[in-house]
Structure 1
Amino acid sequence: MDIGKTLFMILQNMKKFVMKNLSGELTFLGFKCLKIAYYKSPVTQKEIIEETGLSKGTVSKALRRLEKKRLITRRRVGRKYQIELTDEGMAVMKKFEKIASEINKILLKDFSEEEMKNLKNLLERMLKNIEQVVK
């Protein structure tokens, strides 16, 4: 049984579902940056670079696009850029939360409460195992 492959395929399909339902509003990288800013706001550009593992130039370009779409504001604070979501950015993330809830319902369709509880525990153990290796 190749659990890694199955998890990868689930994640790929979740990504497709999200991007399809955001109807071309964002690139996946733009969405990723927006999501980081949403959950960690305010956040610095450097923190987004560290979290995504992408280059400064790549992240900067994605943030410029988000700023142009008026989804974020970037302001210089000392030597750093601070990123915050605009009202429009918040609206996109609220839409994402609805999509995430829908994905959850799809993934767990026909699962009993006990199965959901067991799955959550198993996935948390897997996450803990992989986190110990990558730290």
Structure 2
Amino acid sequence: MPAKSEKACDLISELYWAMRKAFEERLEELGVTFLEFKALVHLKSAKTQKDLLKEMNVSKSTASKVLSSLERKRIVKRERMGKAYTVELTDKGFEVLKAIEKAGKELEEKMFSQMTGKEKSEFLFLLKKAINGLEGGK
């Protein structure tokens, strides 16, 4: 389906939502929600539940619900260490994360399938340049 607009913001938004939809469909196949995926990315190494909620920028109750769900699925395990809980990926968690990373790579390859290597490089360069422009040249 052709793009609906010629405005950069609309096209970037359309690209984001198309990628997000496709990615969430892949996550669903793996039995993981988008929020659970975000938690898994931050849990590549063991850390506390408190650290996780700071990194994910979510409330304590949201982090707790996400971790409880991942625990039920045997993707993470929590252990009490004094007053804090440590959280780490299980073997199944590492397998799921590897499958998610593979799915992300496949989606990116699909997105770039209509571009030459040079076009892909130029596209990425221009995206970075646009981001730098919005961030004031940081």
TM-score, structure 1 normalization: 0.81
C-alpha deviation, 1:131, in angstroms:
5.0
Q: 1:84 to 1:127 in 2, by over 3 A?
A: farther
For 1:1-135, list aligned pairs within 5 A.
1-22=6-27, 23=29, 25-38=31-44, 41-131=45-135
Q: State percent identity of aligned pairs.
A: 33
Number of positions where the alignment pairs a residue of Structure 1 with one of Structure 2: 132
In 1, Cα distance between equivalents of 2:25 and 2:126 = 29
In 2, Cα distance between equivalents of 1:52 and 1:5 = 27
C-alpha deviation, 1:130, in angstroms:
4.5
In 2, Cα distance between equivalents of 1:44 and 1:126 = 36
Let me know the Cα RMSD of the aligned residues. 2.4
- Give the residue type in structure 2 aligned to 1:36: H
- Give the residue type in structure 1 aligned to 2:118: E
Which whole-Å deviations, capped at 9, do the CAs of 1:56-92 have from their partners, x for residues lacking one? 1111111111011110112233443222111111111
Higher helix residue share: 1
Which whole-Å deviations, capped at 9, do the CAs of 1:35-66 have from their partners, x for residues lacking one? 2213xx12332232223221111111111110
Q: 1:2 to 1:48 in 2, by over 3 A?
A: farther
Unpaired runs of 5+ residues, structure 2, are: 1-5
TM-score, structure 2 normalization: 0.80
Bigger Rg, which one: 2
